Amino acid sequence: MADHDLLNQVWTNIIGNSIKFSMDGGIINVSIKQDIKYVIVRISDTGIGISSEDQKRIFERFFKADRSHSRKYGGSGMGLAIVKQIISLHQGDIRVESEPGQGTTFFVTLPIITSIE
């Protein structure tokens, strides 16, 4: 069970970032895996990547990685902070793996909740 509009914001924010931080000809991959308790949505891109230092901060409000370049991409730095809030409202989790110059992968884990528990 989930809030349709809120989860819509999650996917549009993450995929929007993947598009924004990729070059022409980049590849974005979306896949979903499910077990008994969770669904895991994996969104990966072949874009600019995020340094390990910045990976720790991207879910903070108004945080934008790499100040010297961030102006050319625009945006408020609020997207992932909102994403994180929405996922935690759903008792889920979000995780990032990234390599500068190689690309970025986000893993969103959401519990499968059956009616009333």
Of the candidates 7, 17, 48, 98, which one interacts with Mg ion according to CB under 5 A? 17
Angstrom distance (rounded) from CA 48 to CA 75: 16
Residue (79 or 92) nearer to ligand ADP, CB: 79
DSSP assignment letter at 60: S
Binding-site string for Mg ion from residue 85 to residue 114, where x marks contact by CB under 5 A and - marks none: ------------------------------
- Phi then psi for residue 109, to 5 deg, are -110, 125
The rounded distance, in Å, linking the Cα atoms of 108 and 14 is 10
Residue type, 116: I
User: Which pair of structure tokens corresponds to residue 21?
Assistant: 């931080």
CA gap 94, 14 in Å, rounded: 11
- Shortest Cβ 78–ligand ADP spacing (Å): 6
Give the per-residue contact string, 61-80, with ligand ADP (x = CB under 6 A; - = no). --xxx----x----xxxxxx
The listed partner (Mg ion, ligand ADP, none) that binds 63, CB under 5 to 8 Å by sort, is: ligand ADP
Instruction: Enumerate binding residues for ligand ADP (CB under 6 A).
Output: 13, 17-18, 21, 45, 47-50, 58, 63-65, 70, 75-81, 104
